[in-house]
Amino acid sequence: MIESEILKVFVPAIVAFLVGIGGAPVLTHFLYKHKAWKKVGGRGVGMGGGATPIFDSLHGEDETKVPRMGGILIWGSVAITLFGIFIFAQLAPNTIATELDFLSRSQTWIPAALFFLGAFVGLINDLIEVVQGKAGLKLPARLLIVGSAAALAAVWFYTKLEVTSIGIPFAEPLELGIWIIPFFILGTLVIYASGVIDGIDGLSGGVFSIIFGAYAALAFFQGQFDIAAFSATIAGATLAFLWFNVPPARFYMTETGTMALTLALATIAIMTDTLGDGIGIAVLPIIALPLIGTVITNVIQVFSKKVFKKKVFKVAPIHHHFEAIGWPSHKVTMRYWIITLMFAIIGVTIAIIA
C-alpha cells in the first residue's frame, strides 16, 4: 500500500536526522578535544600549481580553528539507521521493521557500498591532514581509488545487471553498449571533483541534502522504494549535519563526507536510470547544477591560466569568486540553496513526465 511505501521513505530520513542531531554534541566534543583541524590554514598551492592568496585570506584562518571530519556525522547517522533497521527487521520479522528495511541487493547494496567506501577513504585522507599535518592523500591517489571503485561498479552494472544504455528525456534510450563502463567512470570522477563545493559554511550541506531529496522523490515515483529510502536517509543525515554547519560552522564536512556523498550520488543516478525505466543520469546535470558548475568553473580557470596566462575568476571554484567580489558568505550559501532547489524541482519534473 502507498502508506507503507511513504513510511519506508520518510521514517528512515527522520531517524537519520534525529540520530545526527543527537550524535553531533558527542562528535563535536571529540573533534575539539583532539584539535581535529588543519595545522596550517589555506590551500598553499592551487589547482594550477600557483599560490592561493585570495582563498587563504578568505578562509585560511578559520581552517586552523574549526574541526574537520564533520562528514562522520552524515555517514555515521546513515549507518546507524540503515543497519539498525535491518537488524531490527531480522530480530523482529513480520513487524513494521520489515516494512521499513531498505537494505536490498537489487537496489541499495551497490550505492551503500560506494558510500561507505568513500567515507572510509575520505576519513584516512582527513586523518593524515589532522594527525600528521600534511595535505592528505595525493590527488592522483584519490582519483585512482574513485576511478577503481567506479570501474568495479560499472562492470557489475554492465555484466550482471545488463545496463548498456542511458535514458534520454522524451526520446528512446541512448545505447552505449560496453562504453557504459568508461562513461560511468568518467561521470563518477566529475561528480567526485564537485566535492570542492565544501568551502563555505552551510553550502555543501544544503546543496547535497536538496539533491539527495530530489533523487529520493525521483526514485519514489519510479517505484524504486529502497533507493528512495536510502537517498532520503542520506538527505536526513545531511540536514542534521547542516544544522551544525550553518554559520558559524561547528565543524567542516571535508573529504570523509564529500567522497561518500559524491560516490553515492553517481551510483544512485545510474540506478535510477534505465534500471528503473527512468532518466536519472540525464537529469543529473540539472538536479546537481551547482556541483556541475563547480567543476566547470575549475576547469575554465585552470585552462585559462595554462593557455592564456590569466584568470577568468578571482578565485575558483566560483562560490569563492562571489566572496572575493564582496558577497557575504551567507548570501552565497543561501542563493546556492535557492538555485539548487529550483533546478532540483525542474529535474525531477522532467524525469517524471518524460
**pLDDT exceeds 60 at position 184:** yes
The DSSP output letter for 314 is S
pLDDT at 61: 64
pLDDT at 113: 97
pLDDT at 55: 60
Q: Residue 8 corresponds to which cell in the numbers above?
A: 519506508
In sequence order, the β-bridge partners of residue 175 are 165
Q: Residue 305 corresponds to which cell in the numbers above?
A: 591560466
pLDDT at 41: 65
**pLDDT exceeds 80 at position 92:** yes
Highest-confidence segment of 90-94, 198-202, 284-288: 284-288
pLDDT at 1: 58
Instruction: Report residue 40's pLDDT band, with 50, 70 and 90 as the boundaries.
Output: confident
pLDDT at 52: 59
* Helix H or strand E segment including 49: none
**pLDDT exceeds 80 at position 193:** yes
Q: How far apart are CA 346 and CA 325, in angstroms?
A: 30
Percent pLDDT > 70 in the chain is 94
Question: pLDDT tens for residues 300-341?
Answer: 999 999 999 999 999 889 999 999 999 999 999 999 999 999
Lowest-confidence region among 34-38, 76-80, 138-142: 34-38
DSSP symbols for 112-154: HHHHHHHHHHHHHHHHIIIII-S--S-HHHHHHHHHHHHHHHH
Instruction: Report residue 94's pLDDT band, with 50, 70 and 90 as the boundaries.
Output: confident
Q: How far apart are CA 218 and CA 225, in angstroms?
A: 10
How many other CB atoms are there within 10 angstroms of residue 33's CB atom?
9
- Ranges of each domain in the chain: 2-353
Question: pLDDT tens for residues 54-79?
Answer: 665 655 566 788 999 999 999 999 99
Average pLDDT over residues 126-131: 93
pLDDT at 6: 94
Highest-confidence segment of 13-17, 43-47, 301-305: 13-17
Which letter, b or e, does each residue of 168-198 get, where b requires 16 or more Cβ atoms within 10 Å of its Cβ? eeeeeeeebeeebbebbbebbbbbbbbbbbb
Lowest-confidence region among 62-71, 73-82, 96-105, 230-239: 62-71
Question: pLDDT tens for residues 242-273?
Answer: 999 999 999 999 999 999 999 999 999 999 99
**Of 68, 111, 89, 122, which Cα lies nearest the Cα of 232?**
111
**pLDDT exceeds 60 at position 50:** no
